[in-house]
């Protein structure tokens, strides 16, 4: 009996020795039909694929199970990555599970609390650099070139092989009724490239005939892919100083830009940017209409949906899947900052009853 999750698709995985698989039973995440939010937005059919339901709380686990399995096959002892947070949290977990040493490079002061706690607690060697993610990635790639570690950023194709299963699962969960459009946040641009690959492989094997429009969303202050798409360019111009409260996608020089641009152009998709305010608004709207709590970067897919509807780019009768990529608990500070303060009272039941009346 095939378990659900990434390894349900073993035949599509570049694994030579299944006995070397390192897994935390990642994947098999919920595809929620969001009728409340759809009604709010005047949409016919809206789904949210919640990758926050993965073992370490983000879609990165899908890539890491395949990437660390590869490291196992190679007999690698030390793995490493640069990260805005979730990649480091995931790599720390999978390297712990497979007895490997793990080193992660993080942009000092720009990593959400939950992610930092995970990387530290799983026992990774956590290095904070005085620079941004792009600087950290450059440094860790040099260590890889010197063979001092096995690099597990999404320059490593084994990461994308795991993440393409998001596309597979969406097809299975919609009984092969392919969505018209898939909307997701884009940072280093690995995920949009991987998911597109998944849909294309399912079409090549005859499981589906149609392909969705791949739609990438970036933050206003970190949008090299969006700028390229607006010009129909084949290459990006790196953003020197990417800035956004959605720190997961605070990336200026996405390594997978060529693949991501190809996914967007060949699928007839698009790319759009959203402000931090629009992200926080969408994050709250999703939580309060559908009970789905995601971190700010993840909510940019909902914010992008709203913006593209307002711009008339997206038709209201499209079947749409928004991918929410990380759990809201990853960034508790952002959630508390965006919420009403708790009410403080003495232990007086009368006061409490009065508050209840005003609920």
Q: Of 21-29, 32-40, 196-204, 292-300, which part binds ligand AN7 (CB under 6 A)?
A: 292-300
Asked if residue 256 lies in contact with residue 190, where contact means CB atoms within 8 angstroms, the answer is yes
* CA-based end-to-end distance of the chain: 49
- For 21, other C-beta atoms within 10 Å of its C-beta total 18
- For 247, other C-beta atoms within 10 Å of its C-beta total 27
Q: Of 14-22, 121-129, 180-188, 203-211, which part binds ligand AN7 (CB under 6 A)?
A: 180-188
Among 202, 326, 331, 335, binds ligand AN7 (CB under 6 A): 326
Q: How many residues bind ligand AN7 (CB under 6 A)?
A: 21
| 45 vs 116, beta carbon nearer ligand AN7 | 116
Locus of tokens 């339901």:
53
| 21 vs 249, beta carbon nearer ligand AN7 | 249
Q: How far is the CB of 329 from ligand AN7 (least distance, A)?
A: 12
| 5 vs 190, beta carbon nearer ligand AN7 | 190
| Contacts to ligand AN7 from residues 224-283, by CB under 6 A | 248-249
Q: How far is the CB of 326 from ligand AN7 (least distance, A)?
A: 3
Q: Among 131, 141, 140, 196, which residue's Cα sits nearest to residue 167?
A: 196
Q: Of 66-74, 227-235, 293-301, 345-353, which part binds ligand AN7 (CB under 6 A)?
A: 293-301
Q: Is 179 exposed, middle or buried (0-12, 13-18, 19+ CB in 10 A)?
A: buried
Asked if residue 304 lies in contact with residue 217, where contact means CB atoms within 8 angstroms, the answer is yes
| Contacts to ligand AN7 from residues 70-109, by CB under 6 A | 83-87
Q: Of 181-189, 269-277, 285-293, 337-345, which part binds ligand AN7 (CB under 6 A)?
A: 181-189
Taking the C-alpha atoms of residue 283 and residue 295, their distance in angstroms, rounded to an integer, is: 7
Asked if residue 216 lies in contact with residue 202, where contact means CB atoms within 8 angstroms, the answer is no
Per the DSSP assignment, residues forming a β-bridge with 219 are 222, 274
**What DSSP string runs through 292-321?**
--B-HHHHHHHHHHHHHHHTT-S-TTSEEE
Among 107, 162, 187, 198, binds ligand AN7 (CB under 6 A): 187
| 5 vs 296, beta carbon nearer ligand AN7 | 296
| 46 vs 82, beta carbon nearer ligand AN7 | 82
Q: How far is the CB of 209 from ligand AN7 (least distance, A)?
A: 27
Locus of tokens 């392909």:
211
Q: Among 219, 204, 194, 201, which residue's Cα sits nearest to residue 301?
A: 219
Tell me phi and psi for residue 326, to 5 degrees. -150, 150
Q: Of 91-99, 141-149, 187-195, 199-207, which part binds ligand AN7 (CB under 6 A)?
A: 187-195
Asked if residue 236 lies in contact with residue 257, where contact means CB atoms within 8 angstroms, the answer is yes
Q: Of 118-126, 172-180, 295-303, 348-356, which part binds ligand AN7 (CB under 6 A)?
A: 295-303
User: Which SS3 state, helix, strand or coil, does residue 47 take?
Assistant: strand
Among 23, 29, 58, 215, binds ligand AN7 (CB under 6 A): 58
Among 46, 64, 279, 297, binds ligand AN7 (CB under 6 A): 297
When asked if residue 154 is in the footprint of ligand AN7 (CB under 6 A), the reply is yes
Taking the C-alpha atoms of residue 91 and residue 60, their distance in angstroms, rounded to an integer, is: 8
Residues in contact with ligand AN7 by CB under 6 A are 58, 83-87, 154, 185-191, 248-249, 295, 297-298, 325-326
């Amino acid at each position: 009996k095939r378990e659900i999750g990434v390894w349900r698709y073993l035949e599509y995985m570049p694994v030579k020795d299944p006995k070397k698989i390192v897994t935390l039973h990642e994947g098999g995440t919920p595809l929620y039909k969001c009728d409340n939010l759809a009604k709010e937005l005047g949409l016919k059919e809206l789904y949210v694929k919640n990758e926050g339901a993965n073992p370490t709380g983000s879609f990165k686990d899908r890539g890491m199970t395949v990437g660390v399995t590869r490291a196992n096959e190679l007999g690698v002892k030390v793995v490493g990555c640069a990260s805005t947070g979730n990649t480091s949290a995931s790599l720390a977990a999978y390297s712990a599970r497979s007895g490997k040493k793990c080193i992660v490079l993080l942009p000092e002061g720009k990593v959400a609390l939950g992610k930092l706690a995970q990387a530290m607690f799983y026992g990774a060697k956590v290095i904070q650099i005085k620079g941004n993610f792009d600087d950290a990635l450059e440094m860790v790639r040099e260590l890889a070139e010197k063979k001092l570690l096995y690099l597990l950023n999404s320059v490593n194709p084994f990461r994308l092989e795991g993440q393409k299963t998001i596309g597979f699962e969406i097809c299975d969960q919609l009984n092969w009724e392919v969505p018209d459009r898939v909307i997701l946040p884009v940072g280093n641009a690995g995920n949009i490239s991987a998911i597109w690959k998944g849909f294309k492989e399912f079409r090549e094997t005859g499981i589906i005939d149609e392909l969705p429009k791949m739609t990438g969303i970036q933050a206003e202050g970190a949008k090299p892919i969006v700028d390229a798409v607006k010009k129909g360019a084949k290459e990006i111009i790196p953003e020197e100083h990417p800035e956004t409260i959605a720190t997961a996608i605070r990336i200026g020089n996405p390594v997978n830009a060529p693949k991501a641009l190809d996914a967007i152009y060949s699928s007839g998709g698009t790319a759009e940017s959203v402000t931090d305010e629009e992200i926080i608004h969408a994050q709250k709207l999703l939580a309060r209409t559908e009970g789905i709590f995601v971190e700010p970067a993840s909510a940019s897919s909902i914010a992008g949906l709203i913006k593209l509807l307002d711009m008339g780019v997206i038709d209201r009768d499209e079947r749409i899947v928004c991918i929410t990529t990380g759990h809201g608990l990853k960034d508790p500070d952002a959630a508390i900052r965006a919420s009403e303060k708790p009410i403080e009272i003495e232990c007086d039941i009368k006061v409490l009853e009065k508050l209840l009346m005003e609920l």
